């Protein structure tokens, strides 16, 4: 079943599939990229429980966010709350990927939701720290990737075709390593991305430039799985520090995976989803 639900600023598209069990709400990453890539990986979980996902305002099948004043962290947090309430999701598991995990962490820290758990997948707690960590990773890649990307941005040379070739090298090293799949740029809302991020993960000039919630993570009272990849641009040390601040947390680093474990080749993708499935089962058994 799919439909639309009112949130601050407009209406967002959602889909519900499966039934029974504790529901799982998927909060996609970006900002500016819709929920489409999550479909295939998480579909098997709908045989066990209801799985719900939505496109954030401004992307995919949801209303556009032509007024950029709507593109604030607080509004996206309000949107997440409106989706949970409007769809009647009682004590769901909430999975957030990357930007979605950032929203999940801040929501859990500041609004004390009665969620069964939060799966913080490949998500960060400090943009300034993350930005430097990504640059450090890129500096270690062969082929002078950092200068061919970040350096060219600083010099205003992004029209060089090699700039895009270097971007691809970075993505294949730290974002999606084993799959031949590539993210469809036509799905991206560049206005949302540029407003929130700016240039790229390693060069943040948008609204999120100074975002840092490390000092409030200790307020999170629900169980949290902090999940990342061995080669993730959100490095294992960053994720370990997130988990260390949260009283009831687990930290798992998936061997062989990068930032988008749910899009890697089938064995890695299945392993990624299994970690999440098993974690939810353990939390439910504990309750």
The residues annotated as belonging to the active site are 98, 232, 259
Residues 6+ apart with CB under 8 A from 1: 15, 16, 17
What DSSP letter does each residue of 53-109 carry, written as one string? EEPPTTSTTSPP--SGGG--HHHHHHHHHHHHHHTT--S-EEEEETHHHHHHHHHHH
Tokens 């540029």 correspond to 194
**Dihedral (CA of 65, 68, 69, 70) sign:** positive
**Dihedral (CA of 266, 269, 271, 276) sign:** negative
* Other beta carbons less than 10 A from residue 110's beta carbon: 14
Tokens 């593109």 correspond to 71
* CA 277/CA 279 separation, integer angstroms: 5
* CA 280/CA 95 separation, integer angstroms: 10
């Amino acid at each position: 079943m799919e439909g639309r639900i009112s949130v601050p600023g407009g209406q967002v598209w959602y889909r519900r599939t499966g039934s029974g069990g504790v529901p799982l709400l998927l909060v996609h990453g970006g900002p500016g990229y819709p929920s489409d890539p999550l479909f295939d990986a998480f579909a098997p979980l709908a045989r066990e429980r209801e799985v719900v996902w939505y496109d954030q305002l401004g992307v995919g099948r949801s209303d556009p966010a032509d007024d950029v004043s709507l593109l604030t962290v607080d509004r996206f947090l309000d949107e997440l709350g409106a989706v949970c309430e409007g769809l009647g999701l009682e004590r769901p598991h909430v999975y957030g990927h990357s930007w979605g995990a950032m929203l999940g962490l801040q929501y859990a820290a500041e609004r004390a939701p009665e969620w069964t758990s939060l799966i913080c997948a490949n998500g960060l707690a400090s943009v300034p720290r993350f930005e430097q960590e990504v640059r450090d990773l890129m500096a270690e890649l062969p082929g002078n990737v950092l200068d061919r990307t970040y350096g060219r941005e600083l010099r205003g040379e992004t029209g060089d075709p090699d700039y895009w070739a270097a971007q691809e090298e970075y993505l294949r090293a730290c974002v999606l390593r084993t799959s031949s799949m590539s993210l469809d740029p036509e799905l991206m809302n560049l206005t949302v991305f540029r407003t929130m991020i700016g240039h790229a993960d390693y060069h943040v000039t948008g609204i999120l430039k100074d975002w840092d919630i490390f000092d409030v993570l200790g307020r999170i009272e629900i169980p949290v799985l902090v999940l990342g990849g061995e080669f993730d641009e959100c490095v294992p040390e960053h994720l370990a520090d997130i988990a260390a601040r949260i009283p009831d947390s687990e930290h798992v680093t998936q061997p062989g995976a990068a930032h988008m474990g749910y899009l890697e080749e089938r064995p890695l993708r299945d392993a990624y989803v299994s970690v999440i499935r098993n974690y939810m089962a353990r939390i439910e058994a504990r309750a």
